[in-house]
Amino acid sequence: MSSGLPLLGERFPELEVITTHGKMKLPDDYAGKWFVLFSHPGDFTPVCTTEFIAFERLREQFEALNCELIGLSVDQVFSHIKWIEWIKENRNVDVQYPVIADELGKVSSALGMIHPGKGTNTVRSVFIIDDKGVIRLILYYPQEIGRNMDEILRALKALQTHEQHKVALPANWPNNDDLGDKVIIPPPPSMDGAKARLEDAKAGKFECWDWWFCYRDL
């Protein structure tokens, strides 16, 4: 791993953490699975509460994609447990995913989750890590803005689709205004490839706007 904050395409740093489900080792404990690590500024705060509820309501959809959820903040594990109990008692939502208690801020600092202008609180970070322990997506939100969980789920589906089919995904996939749920074929790397691409398009193997912009159904 390079010095400084982790980057896309790098292996997630090896970390031992304390969670509401006990001690865990990241990314080793999720070997063979994808996982979404997300931080929140603090327990018993309104926006974070809505996010925890939203993540739990989508948890089974993440798990169906071989992906686990894990939260994090600098609060103590006792605070996490009490907050999760409050959510269950008052909102009838039973949060099943683990939450890291990063009391000393070591995990948050290593992952760039601490914003200098916000004291020691963690900003709303999202890391999507693949089944090989590699970081595939990083998102940062300010404390004041709640995340769109459907977009995080969509991004996971898009990453897995790219991984499986070696294609690119258009804006708003699978609901692109022009392509719908079709996927984009990577451009050919040579003039011969460009010529062959157009011939393939004429033969009906896929559709093209031009030789460098071709797409198809999955």
Residue 67 annotated among the catalytic residues of the structure: no
Q: Which of 48, 67, 208, 214 is catalytic?
A: 48
In sequence order, which ranges of the chain are alpha helices (DSSP H)? 46-64, 77-91, 106-110, 149-165, 191-202
The helix (run of H) or strand (run of E) holding residue 99 is: strand 99-101
Q: Any long-range contacts for 56-61 (C-beta under 8 Å, 24+ apart)?
A: 56/93, 56/94, 56/95, 56/96, 56/97, 57/93, 58/149, 58/150, 58/153, 59/96, 59/97, 61/153
Burial class (CB in 10 A: 0-12, 13-18, 19+), 138: middle
Cα separation, 130 vs 170, whole angstroms: 21
Active site residues: 48
